[in-house]
Chains A and B, each alone.
Chain A
Amino acid sequence: MQMEYVGLSSINGPLVALDGVKGVAYDEMCEFTLPSGERRTGRVTMIDGERVVVQVFEGTKGMASAGPRTRFLGSPMTLPLSTEMLGRVFDGAGRPADGLGALYPDESRDINGSAINPVSRAYPRSCITTGISAIDGMATLIRGQKLPIFSGSGMKHNELAAQIVRQAKLSGEDGQFAIVFCAMGVKNDTADFFRKSFEESGALMRVTMFLNLASDPIIERILCPRCALTAAEYLAFKHGYHVLVIMTDMTSYCEAVRELSSSRGEIPSRKGFPSYLYSDLASLYERAGMIHESTGSVTQVPILTMPNDDITHPIPDLTGYITEGQIVLARELDGKGIYPPISVLPSLSRLMKDGVGEGFTREDHSPLSNQLFAAYSKTQEARSLASVIGEDELSDTDKAYIEFGNEFERRFVAQQYDEDRSLEQTLDLGWRLLTLLPKSELDRIDTAMLDKYLPRAQTGSSFLSGEGDN
């Protein structure tokens, strides 16, 4: 028997309350029918005896307390799934938005997913080369990793993400590659940019898009990544795809969570965000990974714009504590015209140490990148000294560091939007840069490896002798 409840007791932001409701389950879905005949969906978010609070996905605009009739659907929110999702576009709540009609679902799953049992996880070790030196060389992306891009408004994070999607290659044995694109609160232009970029690279048939634009309801913004990740898990763990999930912009997502929290009257913690923001973000990010019983993988590249470029803001801060590293973009490099403006020092891939080196990439990868990090960090010290006493007064070693740093930014970090560098090229470039420094400064690489690779770089064609890359 289906009961319908007539009228609402209260309306507050995206939340409505109903009284006298019996037998409804926490997290159950419901459907509102407005007097105009319009239908909206909602989800139970709190039960207090016979009072039930429901969040309305489409928002409460135009709802009056007397009009709507509410029907509870008896189950939590599920997403219909099928491999036909590839090439399709959905809205934030997982409804087809490309006018191609409904899916013929193979199964439906709860969009909240379940936690992967840590003993069932396979530790990610195979790297994905992106053709971008600053990532491949210094913060390698590993299959099954969650590696966010920390950016700021106006920087070229979208271009970078598009380039990663275009150039990403699996090392070792190959499998089917799929992309799930999840846009939360982005402008229509941004969504268009990605769509075009997928189209140009011929990837559109491998992409599933979930779009929640800036003008769309905030509840759907909160559902959007959950739908996207449910689709990604289905493709990866049921059908063995290697799925790359691009999620942009996590900042809009977190702001939606804050908005909902405040309309629920919850006690805010830092900067007004709810105290459960960490668990909430973790419930998304932790859905990346690989499991023993399947060959597929879910790799996440969430993009977030740091408010005011502040890495200690709660959103990047909590994200950094959950994700396995981060790629940080710097306004200073962007200002110098360096693309991609990846700030190498704060960028990090936690899984890199186990996925590079002999048997994975090349034996010198790890010591080389350590040495480049250490040297570039000395460059920063030399630069700050130079800003006080002037570059002329620096010791020869410090001068060498400054030259190294400049070349490192211009040759190694910077590359063209369509330039796809092989890992070999990236590593060789790194060695050539090290030749700019006195050998005694290279204290992160053991002697045997220095003797093997350094002479090769010294005699190899040097960009310093005039044969530039551009």
Chain B
Amino acid sequence: MYTVYSINGPVVRARGGTDLGAMDMVYVGSMRLIGEVVSIEGDEATIQVYEETSGLRPGEPVESTGGAMAITLGPGLIGNIFDGIARPLRALEKASGSFIVRGINVGSLDEEKKWDVTVTASVGDVLEPGAIFATLTESEMIEHRCMVPPELSGTVVSAVPDGSYTIADTILELDTGRGVVPLKLAQRWPIRRSRPFTERLPIDRPLITGQRIMDTLFPLAKGGCAALPGPFGAGKTVNQHQLAKWSDADIIVYLGCGERGNEMTQVLEEFSELEDPRSGKPILSRTVLIANTSNMPVAAREASIYTGMTIAEYYRDMGYHVAIMADSTSRWAEALREISGRLEEIPAEEGFPAYLPSRLAEFYERAGYVRTLGGGEGSVTVIGAVSPQGGDFSEPVTQNTKRFVRCFWALDRELAYARHFPAINWMTSYSEYAEELDGWYDGHVGPDFVKCRRRIQALMQEESSLMEIVKLIGSDILPEDQKLVIETARIVRSGFLQQNSFHAVDTYVPLEKQLKMMQTILYFYDRAGELVSRSIPISRLRETNVSESLIRMKYGVPNDDLSAFDDYRELIDRAVESITSEY
């Protein structure tokens, strides 16, 4: 039997036993604090404890749970909010009030709740790992598909009829050849192991976000990874919220990792009111929330991203497209650093442990578009916010993240100060998925989409180099064609790239409207180009206020009726023609 020997913050060393294995989950002390074994040396085990260790004494017992840190996966996850080690916060509130106290051990899922289960397997069926044997309605939007756990297969020897069951009830009995195993609605899975699948499939479908700059310039693929780095105040959280609200994933796992408590409250309140634009149901009915706020124990913060990822993979295995938003991965890395420091490991860059890159890689590699064990298709898309120290992207977490993600939405302090939101800098951001997704855009939105994107990108690139000159000598000196580039880029900046997440129409924009907006702006550019070629100064066009109308078209055109874009074309035509007629 191990007993506590030394205590240093969340790191506890225990001695005197033999029954602990590496990565085992344990209960520490008479308060039964939850912990995990990080290393074993001789008869000494080092344990990281997921709760405050205040009041713990040497000599108190350490009890093994006999297995790795695992969570229960089953119906009841959706719409719920958990802490970093998957304890339901609503149940904790019932148990201890508004403040979280220690040593409370409640199951992740409600064991009393009855679900209306349709059993799809029958006696005699041979079930492979990942096969779906029962379904139930978990929320207004999600059908929960109960699967045979990945390591089991066999013949069904008994099955219950359709009806109401709890997660503790046996639904099927499976003869595995090595004995009969009961199958229930829920299963356990260790959080640090990725759930198996049959094969990875090519990534060729976008995650549609309704956010213009993301969908058009820097698209993210389903099954891909994106990083969202930025200094404080640049809008990481607002962007993550926007993605969680509007992206076309079936299920969202929102992970508040070391961030503000009020933000999680806001997510809870807002998501239960907001409607999904596609189904009209509250967004919370497709969302799982995990909250380890910055004042909750740091060791649980380290575990929280694995908890989130495991839940995401579980729904992926049912054949869903899942997006996981981690806000912020820097807090996770700092938790890693803090624990590493307490373990007295030799630090590498800026005090971070040398295994930071490999841990980051492990996490991001759990994303992907896969054929599931059950034969369906599902995906996990990861969007990780990064909070670089001092907003400096050369720090280790940002740099290492960059190596493992292929989409980089760089948030910019200057844009945020100018209240240009989303403050994604179009010059430093990139998406390697863009070309792989061209085919999808051609087929689903029209071939013009990719063309327009390229033209807009070229225009912004040109503007950027022109602005260098303008900053030095002012814009009056430029030739007319370059003035037109600057004027058009201004419309792109204010009218297209800027998007008001608090405006009812502008907060989510379908791809068709994004295309029309690009086309209209480029139409303006082309028609105004005619004026330039006839040596008519651009200032004449500016006087007509066409640009201002175009900047406001994002508010003026409703998302479900795009015919108003014809009016804008007419407006451009009229302005150009009236100017031409004077010459």
Is the A/B pair a real complex?
A: yes
In the complex, the answer to whether B269 meets A123 with C-beta atoms within 8 Å is yes
- CB atoms of B471 and A384 under 8 A apart: yes
A44 to chain B, nearest CB (A): 9
CB-defined interface of B316-341 with A at 8 Å, one 1/0 digit per residue? 00000000000000010011011001
Nearest-Cβ distance from residue B76 to partner chain A, whole angstroms: 15
B265–A123 touching, CB < 8 Å? yes
Q: A123-B266, A123-B269 are in contact. Are A117 and B93 (CB under 8 A)?
A: yes
Within the complex, the shortest CB–CB distance from A324 to chain B, in Å, comes to: 7
Q: Which of A110, A121, A287, A313 has the most CB of B within 10 A?
A: A121
Q: Contact check, B350 vs A117: say whether CB atoms are below 8 A apart.
A: no
A268 to B347, CA, bound (A): 10
Tell me, yes or no, whether B182 is within 8 Å of chain A by CB.
no
Q: In whole angstroms, what is the CA distance A159 to B52 when docked?
A: 39
List, in ascending order, chain A residues with CB within 8 A of B8's CB.
46-48
Q: How large is the interface on B (under 10, 10 to 19, 20 to 34, 35 or more residues)?
A: 35 or more
- Whether B53 is near chain A, meaning CB under 8 Å from some CB there, is yes
Assess A289 versus B298: contact at CB under 8 Å? Given A25-B57, A275-B337, A345-B417: no
- B265 contacts A122, C-beta separation under 8 Å: yes
- Chain B, range 48-93, C-beta contacts under 8 Å to A: 52-59, 81, 89-90, 92-93
Assess the B338–A279 pair: CB atoms within 8 A.
yes
User: Which of B53, B232, B265, B337 contacts A118, CB < 8 Å?
Assistant: B265
Q: Does A144 touch B at the CB level, under 8 Å?
A: yes
Which of the candidate stretches B159-167, B254-262, B372-380, B526-534 sits at the interface with the other chain?
Answer: B254-262
Tell which of A12-20, A401-409, A438-446 binds the partner. A438-446
A194 to B62, CA, bound (A): 51
Q: A114 to B334, alpha carbons, bound, how many Å?
A: 21
Residue A267 interfacial (CB < 8 Å): yes
Of B221-229, B401-409, B512-520, B548-556, the segment with at least 4 beta carbons within 8 Å of chain A is: B548-556
Complex CA gap A122/B89 in Å reads 15
Contact in complex: A269, B295 (CB < 8 Å): no
Stretch of A93-101, A205-213, A315-323 with 4 or more beta carbons under 8 angstroms from chain B:
A315-323
Q: Which chain A positions have C-beta within 8 A of B90?
A: 119
CB proximity to B under 8 Å, residues A286-317? 286-287, 289, 291-294, 312-314, 317
Q: How many residues on the A side are at the interface (Cβ–Cβ under 8 A)?
A: 85
Distance in Å: Cβ of B494 to nearest Cβ of chain A: 6
Contacts of A346 in B (CB 8 A): 233, 417
Q: Is the C-beta of B583 less than 8 angstroms from some C-beta in chain A?
A: no
Considering the complex, which residues of chain B in the window 472-508 have a beta carbon less than 8 Å from any beta carbon of chain A? 472-476, 494, 502
Say yes or no for B545: interface residue by CB 8 A criterion.
yes
Cα A120 to Cα B472 in complex, Å, equals: 54
| B417, chain A: closest CB distance, angstroms | 4
What are the residues of chain A within 8 A of B264 when measuring CB–CB? 118, 121
Which residues of chain B are near A294, meaning CB under 8 Å?
98
Cα(A389)–Cα(B473), bound, Å: 6
Decide yes or no: A353 and B337 within 8 Å by CB, A115-B100, A282-B295, A283-B295 being known contacts: no
Is B142 an interface residue when CB atoms closer than 8 A count as contact? no
Measured between C-beta atoms, what is the minimum distance from B541 to chain A in Å?
A: 13
Chain A CB within 8 A of B193 CB: no
Give the one of B6, B470, B545 with max A CB within 10 A. Answer: B6
Does B6 contact A49, Cβ atoms closer than 8 Å? yes
Q: Kindly specify which of A79-87, A370-378, A413-421 makes contact with the partner chain.
A: A370-378
Complex formed: what's the CA distance from A115 to B272 in Å? 24
Q: How far is the CB of B261 from chain A (nearest CB, A)?
A: 5
Contact check, A115 vs B99: say whether CB atoms are below 8 A apart. Answer: yes
Given contacts A267-B347, A276-B338, A26 and B54 within 8 Å (CB-CB): yes
Does A388 sit within 8 A of B, measured CB to CB?
A: yes
A28 closest partner in B (C-beta): B55
Contact A120 B260 (CB under 8 A): no
| A461 nearest CB across to chain B (Å) | 29
- CB atoms of B58 and A49 under 8 A apart: yes
Q: Is the CB of B268 within 8 A of A118?
A: yes
Chain A residues 343 to 380 lying within 8 A of chain B, measured CB to CB, are: 345-346, 348, 350-351, 353-354, 366, 370, 373-374, 377-378
A117 adjacent to B233 (CB under 8 Å): no
Tell me the bound Cα distance from A435 to B334 in angstroms.
Answer: 48
> For B341, what are the chain A residues with a Cβ–Cβ distance below 8 Å?
266-267, 269, 274-276
B54/A282 in contact, CB under 8 A: no
Whether the pair B56, A270 counts as a contact (CB closer than 8 A) is no
User: In this complex, what residue of B is CB-closest to A123?
Assistant: B265
CA distance A317 to B395 in the complex (A): 14
Binds A, one of B129-137, B198-206, B383-391, B442-450: B383-391
Task: State which of B92, B265, B474 has its C-beta within 8 Å of the C-beta of A385.
Answer: B474
Is the CB of A326 closer than 8 A to any CB of chain B? yes
| A160 interface residue per 8 A CB criterion | no
A292 touches B98 (CB 8 A): yes
Given contacts A119-B93, A269-B351, contact A114 B100 (CB under 8 A): yes
The CA of A47 and the CA of B392, in the complex, are separated in Å by 38
Which chain B residues lie closer than 8 Å to A353 at the CB level?
502
Q: Mark B28-55, 1 if CB is under 8 A from A, else 0.
A: 0000000000000000000000001111
A443 adjacent to B548 (CB under 8 Å): yes
B97: Cβ under 8 A from any A Cβ: yes
Q: Is the CB of A237 within 8 A of B268?
A: no
**Does A116 make an interface contact (CB < 8 A)?**
yes
Interface string of A26-58 (1 = CB under 8 A from B): 111000000000000000001111100000000
Q: How far is the CA of A444 from the CA of B341 in the complex (A)?
A: 48
Judged by a CB distance under 8 angstroms, whether B105 is at the interface is: no
A7 on interface, CB distance cutoff 8 Å = no
* Nearest B residue to A325, CB-CB: B233
Q: In the complex, which residues of chain B have a beta carbon less than 8 angstroms from the beta carbon of A46? A: 6-8
Chain A residue nearest in CB terms to B60: A25
- Chain B residues whose CB sits within 8 angstroms of the CB of A373 once the complex forms: 417-419
Chain B positions within 8 Å of A118 at CB level: 81, 89, 256, 261, 264-265, 268, 291, 293
Complex: chain A residue closest to B392, CB-CB: A312
Q: Which residue of chain B lies nearest to A286 when distances are taken between CB atoms in the complex?
A: B295
Q: Are A23's CB and B57's CB within 8 A?
A: yes
Q: Considering the chains assembled together, what is the distance between the CA atoms of A295 and B392 in angstroms?
A: 41
**A119-B81 contact, Cβ under 8 Å, with A267-B341, A270-B350, A289-B262:** yes
Q: How far is the CB of A451 from chain B (nearest CB, A)?
A: 13
Closest partner residue, chain A, to B5 (CB atom): A49
Q: How far is the CA of A447 from the CA of B335 in the complex (A)?
A: 48
| A112: Cβ under 8 A from any B Cβ | yes
B419 touches A278 (CB 8 A): no
- Do A366 and B502 contact each other (CB < 8 Å), given the known contacts A76-B55, A324-B260? yes
Q: A267's closest neighbor in chain B, by CB?
A: B341
Other-chain residue from A28, A47, A144, A317 in contact with B390 (beta carbon distance below 8 A): A317
Out of B57, B81, B351, B552, which one reaches A24, CB within 8 Å?
B57
Q: Which of A279, A282, A447 has the most CB of B within 10 A?
A: A279
Within 8 A of A (CB), among B452-475: 470-475
Find the A residue at minimum CB distance from B473.
Answer: A389
* A76: chain B residues within 8 A (beta carbon): 54-55
Known: A117-B89, A377-B417, A385-B471. A27 touches B389 (CB 8 A): no
17 A-B residue pairs with CB within 8 Å: A24-B58, A27-B55, A117-B98, A118-B261, A119-B89, A267-B351, A269-B347, A269-B351, A275-B341, A276-B9, A278-B334, A289-B262, A317-B232, A320-B231, A321-B232, A377-B417, A440-B548
> Which residues of A pack against B, CB within 8 Å?
22-28, 46-50, 76, 110, 112-124, 144-145, 237, 266-270, 274-276, 278-279, 282-283, 285-287, 289, 291-294, 312-314, 317, 320-322, 324-326, 345-346, 348, 350-351, 353-354, 366, 370, 373-374, 377-378, 384-385, 388-389, 393-395, 440, 443-444, 446-447
The list of the 10 closest CB pairs from A to B, nearest first, reads A312-B390, A282-B294, A269-B351, A286-B295, A27-B54, A120-B98, A320-B232, A114-B99, A377-B418, A118-B264
